[in-house]
Amino acid sequence: MTFLRSFSLFSLLLLLVSGCRKSTHANWDVDLLLPVVNSVLNINNFNPDSTFKADAGGVMHLVINREVASLMMDSLLSLPDTVIPKDFTNDFIATTLKPGQGLTLQPSNLQFNVSNGVGLKTVIVKSAMLHVKFSNDVAEPLDLIYQLPGVTKDGNFFTISEIIPSGKNSLVKSYDLSGYKMDLSGPSGNKVNTLLQNYTVNLSTTASGTAVVESGKGAHIELSYSEVVPQFVEGYFGTQVVKMPYDSTRISLVNDFKASNFMLSEAKMDFTIVNEFGVDFSGSLGNIKSINSTQSKTVALQTNQLASINLDRATRVGDVVTPKKKIFSFNNTNSHITSFISNLPDMLTYEGSVRMNPIYPYNISGYHDFAYYNTGIRVLADIDIPLRFTADYFELVSHPTVDFSGNEQLEGVNSGRFVVSATNGFPFSAQLQGYMQDASGKIIDSIFISGANTIDRGFLDAKNDVTSPKKSKIYIPISRAKIDNLTRTKTIRLVSKFIMPPNPPEIRILEHYELSINITVEANYNVKLN
């Protein structure tokens, strides 16, 4: 009986253990809620790099400040890149020199040939290199000391001291002129473009013995300059005419914005011409066009205001420069600036010319025209656009980033749907579309289904202004193929197309208008356990 009871208990335990053993494979179905996009579309989508401000009526203004053209110092003045030869030779009969003895040489002037009637008195060098080729047609080496007393830095003359071996181009060296001040008024201070040169040439103390220096023989150098960038220039800049050739500049009036039959109610633009040079100018600007390259549309600015421009010279006290400015204003009453800006240009074109010192007797500054590095004549565009307009529709775009690569939950999705929660604070309904884009920006799929992608406008008052936003939800079925494309997606180009009613009233964009969009995935997720 004891044996039977023990066997029965053992059998019961064995049965219980066998009943508790789990299967090696199991599938469970669970629900999955996965966020995809959370984006807000508002006036900043017009141009995120610009400034917006509200007027007293609450209407937002797009304010843009851009430099659209410039004429800098290097367009007006440059030192020549020509080679300047200089001989230090025996001008008498053949002379025998002992080591340390020298030739009799007189100081001379180094003359720069600056074009366009420019006469320079002072140049402070920001950066430049002086390249010198040394030659020696004496049988023994020569010691050359070459000084430019008018070229100074920290109270010291620019000096070259070299031993020149015998032969043509027997020594080639470069010298840094950065930071040197060049007095180009000559030894008496009454010249321009002129430097005084001092030099001595001796038979080198390293020579093996005496040497005969024939008449016309000695040392020779060739000077050349490169990478010359002036920090400051003073003198007379002549009466030269400098062309501003036809060119374009990016203005990017709006980004990620598209409209049909778009027309602003008004716009204002000021062209401010700033003269940072110490020289008077006359000139003109023309061929000004707004170009919408996306839609291949061009609108020319029709005005005579810029045909004849006179601009006074800047002034300075020490190194503090006070520019002179002239403002040309364009508005609805004196131009068609509204059409010009309503083209929504991403580029502006221009061309022009300026003449320096146009007033007789021309050199009225007495060689005190001046210019500093990185200064010039600048043309600034200041644009003020009240966001009141008419249009058949307009679109706002955002580009949220996503990354679902390697998401194991998506790999197990059986079925599901996109859930789009939208809160529309604009006074018009919107059609939504989201384009899935891969790492290269290529569109690989879309999210919304045409005909089932419209959200209602906000609640309006009698003035068609939004008093409170309207919330909407859209459900979009998800296929397995769309899930696969979602795992490849890196950005979603989210487009909101705002639809106007027939014969719409003027659209006013107020500060609080925005459209928020939240997209999630609701799915049935199959869990596999091994």
8: helix, strand or coil: helix
Tell me: the pLDDT tens digits for 233-249?
A: 999 999 989 888 999 98
Fold of 27-46+392-529: Jelly Rolls (2.60.120)
Fold of 84-236: Jelly Rolls (2.60.120)
The pLDDT value recorded for residue 114 is 80
List, in order, residues 6 or more apart from 408 with CB less than 8 Å away.
none
Residue 178: pLDDT band with limits 50, 70, 90: very high
| Size of the chain in residues | 530
Tell me: the pLDDT tens digits for 12-48?
A: 333 333 444 444 444 444 466 778 888 888 776 666 5
Q: How far is CA 415 from the centre of its chain?
A: 48
* Domains 27-46+392-529 and 84-236 alike in fold: yes
Closest CA to 143 of 168, 114, 164, 129: 164
Q: Which residues in 387-427 belong to E strands, given as ranges?
A: 388-390, 393-398, 413-424
CATH number of 60-75+238-386: 2.60.120
* Count of other CB atoms within 10 angstroms of residue 2: 6
Q: What is the pTM of this model?
A: 0.76
The pLDDT value recorded for residue 509 is 86
Contact 192, 367 (CB under 8 A): yes
| Cα–Cα distance, 123 to 158 (Å, whole number) | 14
The pLDDT value recorded for residue 23 is 43
pLDDT(172) > 90: yes
pLDDT(200) > 90: yes
pLDDT (mean) for 350-374: 93
Residue 417: pLDDT band with limits 50, 70, 90: confident
pLDDT (mean) for 433-441: 92
How many degrees, rounded to 5, is the angle at CA 59 between CA 54 and CA 65?
55
Tell me: the pLDDT tens digits for 145-166?
A: 999 999 999 999 999 999 999 9
Residue 366: pLDDT band with limits 50, 70, 90: very high
Tell me: the pLDDT tens digits for 497-530?
A: 988 877 767 888 888 888 999 988 887 765 554 4
Q: What percent of the chain has pLDDT over 70?
A: 88
Sequence ranges of the domains in the chain: 27-46+392-529, 60-75+238-386, 84-236
462: helix, strand or coil: coil
